[in-house]
Amino acid sequence: MKNKYRLIIVAAATISFLLSVSAFVFDQSWLTKGWLKLQIVPNLTKIFASFESLSIASFSTLEAAVNNLTLILAQDVGVAVNILLVMLLLAFCCGRFYCSVLCPLGILQDIIDFFSSHIRAKENRQARGSSKVVFKTPLNLKKTRYCILAVAFITLLGGWVVVWKALDPYSNFGKIVLNGANWARLLDTGISWTGLFFLLALIVLVVWKRRIFCTAICPAGTLLGLCSKNGMLKLGISEKCSACGRCAKVCPAKCINLSSKAIDNERCLRCLKCLGMCPNLKFLGIFKKQFNPKIEARFIASRRSFIWGGMLTLTGIVLGRLFNPEKQMQACYKAAKSVPCLTPTKIEKAAYFIAPPGAGSPERFLAKCTACQLCVAHCVGQVLKPAGCGTKNKFSGDNSSIHLDFKNGHCNYNCNRCGAVCSTGAIRQLDLAQKKRWRIGMANITYDLCVTITDGTECGACAEQCPTGALQMIAGTNGARMPQLNAELCIGCGSCEEACPVLPERAIIVKPISIQVLADDPQEFFKKQRSGSEERNKSKEWLL
Amino acid sequence: MNRRQFLKSMAVAVAGTAITSKLKVTAAESLVQDGISAELPDLVAVRNGEPIAMFRKGIEALGGMQSFVKPEQKVIIKPNISFDSAPERAANTNPELVGEVVRQALAAGAKEVLVFDHTLSDWKTTYKVSGTQEAVEQAGGKMILADEKKFYINQKNVKALKLQETDVFKPLLEADVFINLPILKHHGGAKMSCAIKNLMGNVWDRRIMHRSDLNQCIAEMLFYTKPTLNIIDAYRIMIANGPRGVSTDDVRLTKYMIISTDIVAADVAATKIIGYELDEVPYIKIAENLGFGKSDITKLNIARLEA
């Protein structure tokens, strides 16, 4: 490769891509808690997720559960703000290097582009064959990307990450990696198809217009573009340019306009493929302007596009304000004015899947999670399942989000990994002592199915696994001891559901709850119960 | 001292039991002091010492580890390490003790010593948090994985009533010596978890055992895996909320250890330490009826030692 700048970019991008992939496959905290923290969107959503602590705290019923969390969250948010500011500052100083070196989805597109290049090579040969080379002014699609960014921010202000969930490059990369890792059998979390669909769409886009996703759709890219638009260090073309078009041909962002001899630094992804091809194309000095800064572009600034943009923005406001699942939940609690998790009718009405510990509630999780699947990849008990995956039970009909499934595993008692790896703020990090009392669901025994009732034989598989002692075997009606649930101690970890030998429908299953709260402290509970128990080693006589 | 003399002194001991338990202890102690090693005891009970000290004392009374482990043999040890909790919680066999058993097995000339359990919590954390991994590796043994179905092979036994087939841990079947190293604790489903109950960790599918008469299935485990030696760790015992336990409040310091080749007798001795009636733990009686040992320990030659 002649272009030494490009060589550096390719080397850095390769290392970066491998690190990002391995963060999903290997259990290394410097990857999950370090490397991936450089991604823009998770930091952004985390900052916005911190706003909620203000609104939730105003609900007296949730205070007990949430108070401790806001402090933990505050520390993390500081880091997120700093990282985000540094990234935006870097974009201002030298352009969107993030898109070429750090963004895993951007690098993935470059890889796809590399393989699809022979298709274009054919096109180029045909173009060379013709006598006159005509370079069309590339599409700018300014309105499209600004509208997407506007809707994304407005919904985010309303507390809903929906646009970011769909278009965030990092989260979509995560979906693709998780699906890939599952197929390669590096991970075993169950197959979901979202990653594959996104990958197919991405391949179509790349083959069609190379990195058009980054320049026209990606909200993070648009944000960085706004910073680099009038940045310090720009790429530019000198007046001597003969418009041979070699640079425009290699540019995957299509940001070189040969008719005006200008480079759109807003869209330039800093892949540096063009650099070194021609002495007329180079980095200008600090704050030097291009000789012709006017970027003529083929976008139609008509009334129609204005109305279209306005409609989109309005939709964003409506979606963010009215249909945000979390807002609906808060309205529900305002009406209930009590902790709803202990009233069974409320459970069945409001909650429909089990959210990871620290998510707050299923609704909040739906509103905050961008579905990057990092928690799914790192779940020790392998109970966190991607959306649309896993078997349904009669209580959790909906699994349109990342959710817990206790059919083949349980939420590990000594583990708070999902909260630790989550960089979007959707799963708040609980310390281990808190996590051990953090109720995410509620066990429910169907005695008509239980072995101790139907067969009259001893079982106790559920009580055996219960980490909090919520399940105890008591004298039964049918000769064998039967399980009894102390709801105050149950944290809904699913150990009992996993262990229950009654199949296919288990005699004990964990029902989702509408809000996560702290359960009673089991140590305190049993201490009270067993204050006067005797020491067994007091006597000098042999016990046998 | 020949057998007749021994029986005579045994009769004295039994008579002693009938009078007072205080006398019983003295009689037993006098037996020990007399040095009845002409015939090895059926069951050794040691108390009031640290786990390692108690084990050394106990195994010595049974003729040392070399009477169970011959040179170049492959030894497999099955401690109870089901849960990811620390040794103080007494959910898992004392790691120091596991380490010591490994050391002694190696000293007796074992070719290799493997340690495993089919853990209930995630195996990686459990091996680590329980302290077993560290202790075993320091002692020169090897912790092996038992968390995937591929490590198990299907076995059938027509004599069994309920558990007619099951998938048994393969390295266990390949080993020459199988040392059962349970911890004594309360158990929600089976009332008590000790030597026989510990064998449930040798198979892949435990769900089916819970489904089809747990007590019968626990006893029938002995058709598939019969330990060469049983060492019961009753240094700390869990008296409630077992087998997992909620906190150290569930744990009592008893400082006992039982060593026996008779798994039924060992479990009966364990019921006495934890304070249960034999009827409360039905699988012991079932195992006896299947011919795996004797539950009437008063008829056995028990050595009671102070560590």
The interface predicted TM-score of the complex, written ipTM, equals 0.81
- Which positions in chain B touch A455 (Cβ < 8 Å)? 212-213
CA angle (A323, A324, A328) in 5-degree steps: 85
How many A-B residue pairs are in contact by the CB < 8 A criterion?
131
H or E element: which one contains A472? strand A471-474
CB atoms within 10 A of CB B219: 28
Confidence band for A119, pLDDT divided at 50, 70 and 90: confident
pLDDT band per the 50, 70, 90 thresholds, residue B23: very low
- Give the domain extent around B17: 1-39
Percent of chain B whose predicted confidence (pLDDT) is above 90: 76
| A501 with B47: Cβ contact below 8 A | no
- A188/B38 Cα distance (integer angstroms): 59
For residue B199, the distance in angstroms to the closest alpha carbon of chain A comes to: 16
* Same domain membership, residue B24 and residue B7: yes
Same domain, B200 and B155: yes
Evaluate whether B179 touches B76 at the Cβ level (below 8 Å). Answer: yes
**Sorting pLDDT into bands at 50, 70 and 90, what band is B174?**
very high
Strands B251-260, A482-485: pairing kind: unpaired
Distance from CA of B101 to the nearest CA of A (A): 24
Are residues B243 and A381, on separate chains, in Cβ contact within 8 Å? no
Q: Do A502 and B241 touch (CB under 8 A)?
A: no
Query: In chain A, whose CA is at the least distance from the CA of B254?
Result: A537
Does B134 share its domain with B276? yes
Q: Does B20 touch chain A (CB under 8 A)?
A: no
Distance, CA of A377 to CA of A390 (rounded, Å) = 15
Of A100-109, A520-529, B290-299, minimum mean pLDDT range = A520-529
Using a CB–CB cutoff of 8 Å, tell me whether B273 touches chain A: yes
Residues pairing with B252 in the sheet: B237
Residue of B nearest to A436 (CA): B246
**Angle, CA A374 vertex, CA A441 and CA A145 arms, to 5°:** 110
Question: Is the Cβ of B214 closer than 8 Å to some Cβ of chain A?
Answer: yes
Tell me what percent of the residues of chain A surpass a pLDDT of 90.
32
A465 token code pair: 């696994």
**DSSP symbols for A82-120:** HHHHHHHHHHHHH--HIIIII-HHHHHHHHHHHHHHHHH
Q: By the CB < 8 Å criterion, does B25 face chain A?
A: yes
Per-residue confidence (pLDDT) for residue B287, from 0 to 100: 95
B285 at the A interface (CB within 8 A)? Answer: no
DSSP state letters, A351-414: --SPPPTTS-SHHHHHHH-----HHHHH-TTS-EE-TT-S---SS----SS-EE--SS----TT
Contact A371, A401 (CB under 8 A): yes
pLDDT at A326: 58
Question: Looking at residues A480-485, what average pLDDT do you find?
Answer: 92
pLDDT digits (tens, 9 = 90+) for A153-191: 888 877 778 889 889 999 999 999 988 888 887 777 777
Q: Are residues B28 and B156 in the same domain?
A: no
Confidence of residue B4 (pLDDT cuts 50, 70, 90): low
Say if B86 is an interface residue toward chain A (CB within 8 Å): no
Give the best residue of B22, B200, B214, B284 to mutate against chain A (max A CB count within 10 A): B214
- A27: pLDDT confidence band, cut at 50, 70 and 90? confident
- Residue A194's pLDDT band (cuts 50, 70, 90): confident
Interface contact A535-B249, CB threshold 8 A: no
Please report, as a single letter, which amino acid is at residue B182: P
Interface test with B, best of A407, A471, A536, A541 (most B CBs within 10 A): A536
**Residues of B with Cβ-Cβ distance to A506 under 8 angstroms:** none
- What pLDDT score was predicted for residue B198? 96
- B121, B75 contact by CB (below 8 A): no
Asked whether residue B1 falls in the same domain as residue B150, the answer is no
Looking at chain A, the whole-number percentage of residues with pLDDT higher than 70 is 77
**C-alpha distances in angstroms, A442 versus A353, A357, A517, A525?**
12, 13, 11, 18
Domain count, chain B: 2
B92: confidence class by pLDDT, cuts 50, 70, 90: very high
B242 vs B99, higher pLDDT: B99
Cis peptide leading into residue B243 (ω within 30°) = yes
**What's the pLDDT band for B20 if we cut at 50, 70, 90?**
very low
A322's CB contacts (< 8 A; 6+ apart) are none
Which tens digit of pLDDT belongs to each residue from A493-507?
A: 999 999 999 988 899
Amino acid at B260: S
Judged by a CB distance cut-off of 8 A, whether residue B96 touches chain A is: no
CATH architecture, range A326-525: 2-Layer Sandwich (3.30)
Q: What is the pLDDT of residues A406-453, one digit of tens each?
A: 988 999 999 999 999 998 888 888 888 889 998 999 999 999 999 999
Same domain, B8 and B149: no
What CA–CA distance (Å, rounded) separates A35 from A15?
12
Report the CATH number at residue B86: 3.40.50.11440
Please provide the DSSP assignment of B3-36 as one string.
HHHHHHHHHHHHHHHHH-HHHHHHHHHHHHHHT-
> What residue spans define the domains of chain A?
4-283, 326-525
Question: Per residue in A138-162, is it b (16+ CB within 10 Å) or e — as a string?
Answer: bebbbbbbbbbbbbbbbbbebbbbb
Distance CA A175, CA A172 (A): 5
Copy the structure tokens of residue A281. Answer: 């194309």
Shortest distance, CA A543 to any CA of chain B (angstroms): 5
Q: Could you tell me where the beta strands, DSSP code E, fall in chain B? A: 43-47, 74-79, 112-115, 142-143, 152-156, 165-169, 177-181, 183-187, 191-193, 229-238, 251-260, 302-306
Euclidean distance between CA atoms A497 and B207, whole angstroms: 12
Angstroms from A531 CA to nearest CA on chain B: 9
Which member of A469, A473, A501 has the closest CB to residue B246? A469
Per-residue model confidence (pLDDT) at position B27: 41
Of B211, B252, B269, the CB nearest to A451: B211
Res B50 pLDDT > 90? yes
Taking alpha carbons only, the member of B139, B158, B276 closest to residue B220 is B158
Residue-wise pLDDT for B248-307, tens only, equals 888 999 999 999 999 999 999 999 999 999 999 999 999 999 999 999 989 999 999 998
- The yes-or-no verdict on residue A283 having pLDDT over 90 is no
Report the gap between the CA of B93 and the closest CA in chain A (Å).
17
| B189 contacts A481? CB cut-off 8 A | yes
Percentage with pLDDT > 70 across chain B: 88
Q: Are residues B212 and B223 in the same domain?
A: yes
Mean pLDDT for A68-92 is 77
Using 50, 70 and 90 to split pLDDT, how confident is the model at A341? very low
The answer to whether B293 touches B265, Cβ cutoff 8 Å, is yes
pLDDT digits (tens, 9 = 90+) for A37-61: 999 999 998 888 776 544 443 343 4
Among left, alpha and beta (phi > 0; psi -120 to 50; other), residue A295 is: beta
Distance CA A356, CA A516 (A): 9
Tokens of A331: 């309205």
CB-count burial class (<10 Å; 0-12, 13-18, 19+) for A387: buried
pLDDT of residue A528: 74
